[in-house]
Amino acid sequence: MSRRNTARVADILSSRSGEEMSLNERFLNPQMGRILRTLGFDKVWKGGEGAHLIDSDGERYLDLFGGYGVFAIGRNHPEAIAAIEEVMQARTGNLPQLGVTLLSGVLAEQLLERSPASVGAMVPANTGTEAVEAAIKIARAATGRPRVLYAEHAFHGLTLGSLSINGNDEFRAGFGPFLPGCDPVAFGDLGGLERQLAAGDVAALVLEPIQGKGVNLPPDGYLQCAQKLCRDAGTLFVCDEVQTGIGRTGRFLALEHWSLEPDMICLSKALSGGLVPIGAVLVSRAAFDGVFDGMERAVRHGSTFGGNDLAAAAALATLRVLDGEQLVARAKSSGELLLELTAPLTERFEIVREVRGLGLMWAIEFGPPAGGAGRRLWETVERRQPGLFSQLITVPLFHDHRIFCQVAGHHMNVIKALPALTIEEDEIRRFAAALEETIAAAERYPAALARFGFRTGLRMAGLRR
Ligand SMILES: Cc1ncc(COP(=O)(O)O)c(C=O)c1O
C-alpha cells in the first residue's frame, strides 16, 4: 500500500512502531533482515541512552557496538542535542557556499589545537570515507605522484577511492577495477614499505594506527619508523583516525601514543556525538597550500554539506563533553580495567587465543582447541562458515545477558567492543563476568552450541547465495 506522508515524526514513531522489519524487507536490505532474524537480533529499538540501547519492552542492552564507534560520548547526549537545537533556534546563515561560517572555523581551531603541530588546516567532510577520499586526492595533487600505499586488512570506507585502499577482499570483490597505483603493504613490515617507497612515486601511505577490522595493534616502533621512511621518501604519512580518534584509545588521538606527526589525519564517527554525519581531514599547511594554490583553485575539492552548522555545533559540544566529563582519561582507566578483567580468560580457556586493546577499543580472539571432541566441533562449525564460532558467544551474550556486540570482521573469530567512553565500571564488570560465563558454557556444552552453529551456519550459508 502506498501512503502519502502527512504524519509528523512523533506520530510516525508512535503509530508505525513495529513495522521496522517489514519496511526493511520491502524497501531496504532484506539480507540484513535475514541476518537479524537468524541471530535473533531483530529487536525494535525504541531508544538509546548513554552506553545503552533500549528495546520496545523497555529492556536496556549494553551497547558494545556503539554504532560502529560513533557514540563515544554516549547515545543522545543532552549537550550534543542542545547544541543542535541552538543552531536551529538561531536560524543561522548555514551553507552560504560562496561565503564562510563561524562554527566550522571554531571547530577547525579547536581540532587543530588538540592535534600535532604537523597539521595546520582542516578540510571538512561528511563521513569517514569522504575524509579518506579527500586525503587521497590531496596527497596526489600536493605531491604530483600517483601511488597510494595501504596496509593489508585495512578498512578506510566503501566508496571507490577508499575501497581501492581497502585490505579486505570480501569488501572489494566484484567492485573493481580500482584506482590505479594503490598497493598493499603488510601492517608491520617496514622492509616491504621501504621497497615500495624506493621508486619515489608514492604520494601517501594511509594507515589506521590500530586496525579496526580485528583490532590489530601495531608492532613496537612500526608507526614511528613508517612515518620516518615516508618523510625520507617525500611521501605523505596519513593517519586514518576515523575509528581511533576522539578519545577512543585513551588519548584524544591514538597517534599520541607514538608521538606521531602525520601530514594528514582523517576524522569522523564520534566527532559529532553520533547525531549528525561528519568528517574532517586535518592537513599540513604545505600539503593544503599545494592543492588550494590560487583563487581559481579555491573550490577544487569540497562537498555541499561539508562544514555545515549542525555537524560543527554537535562536534563542538562533543569536544566540550569530552573535556567536561574527562572522557579521554576515563577511556584509558576503563580500558585498563576491561583488559585486566578479561586478559586472564586466555589462561582459563583453551579457545581464547588473545585479548587485546587500547583504551576502549577492545577485542577477544578465539581459536580451535588442540584436539578431541571440542576440536571436531570447532571444525564442523567453522566449515559451515569461517568466523561462525564467535556467534556462539555473541548470541547468548545478547539473549541471556542483554549485551550487544559483534564480530570484528568477516571470516575471523574476533569479537570487538567499542562502548561509550561513559560506560560505568559496574557495566564493564558485568560484561567481563557474562563473557566468562558464556565462554565456559561454550566449552562445557559444545554439542548444544554446535547444533545452534549448524542451524545458523546453514542459514548464513544461504545468505551468501
Ligand atoms: C578507520 C576507518 N576509516 C574510514 C571508515 C569509513 O567511515 P564511514 O563509514 O563513515 O564512511 C571507517 C568506518 O568504519 C573506519 O573504521
CA angle centred on 416, ends 414 and 419, rounded to 5°: 170
Region 172-194 average pLDDT:
98
Annotated domain spans of the chain:
43-73+327-463, 78-324
CA of 238 to the centre of ligand 1 (A): 14
Nearest atom of ligand 1 to the alpha carbon of 154:
1
CATH of 43-73+327-463 among 3.30.70.100, 1.10.10.10, 3.10.400.10, 3.90.1150.10? 3.90.1150.10
CA 234 to centroid of chain Cα atoms: 29
Region of 47 on the Ramachandran plot (φ > 0 left; ψ -120 to 50 alpha; else beta): beta
Supply the angle between the helices 30-39 and 391-401 in degrees, to the nearest 10: 70
Q: Which parts of 104-235 are beta strand (E)?
A: 121-125, 147-151, 182-185, 202-207
Q: Is any ligand 1 atom within 6 A of the Cβ of residue 208? A: yes
- Residue whose C-alpha cell is 584506482: 179
The per-residue pLDDT for range 25-58, each reduced to its tens digit, is 999 999 999 999 999 999 999 999 999 999 999 9
CB of 67 closer than 8 Å to CB of 128: no
Q: Is any ligand 1 atom within 6 A of the Cβ of residue 271? A: no
Q: Please check the confidence at residue 465 and state whether its pLDDT lies above 50.
A: no
CA of 350 to the centre of ligand 1 (A): 33
Q: Please check the confidence at residue 283 and state whether its pLDDT lies above 90.
A: yes
Nearest atom of ligand 1 to the alpha carbon of 157:
6
Lowest mean pLDDT among 233-247, 310-324, 394-408, 441-455: 441-455
Q: Is any ligand 1 atom within 6 A of the Cβ of residue 68? A: yes
pTM score of the predicted model? 0.96
Cβ neighbourhood burial of 295 (10 Å; 0-12, 13-18, 19+): exposed
Q: Is any ligand 1 atom within 6 A of the Cβ of residue 155? A: yes
- Please report which confidence band the pLDDT of residue 459 belongs to, taking 50, 70 and 90 as the band edges: low
Q: What is the CATH number that goes with domain 78-324?
A: 3.40.640.10
pLDDT of the residue at 387 = 84
- Taking the CA atoms of residue 417, residue 422, residue 423 and residue 424 in that order, the dihedral angle to the nearest 10 degrees is 160
What residue type is 175 in one-letter code?
A: F
Q: Is any ligand 1 atom within 6 A of the Cβ of residue 241? A: no
Q: Is any ligand 1 atom within 6 A of the Cβ of residue 243? A: yes
Q: Is any ligand 1 atom within 6 A of the Cβ of residue 132? A: yes
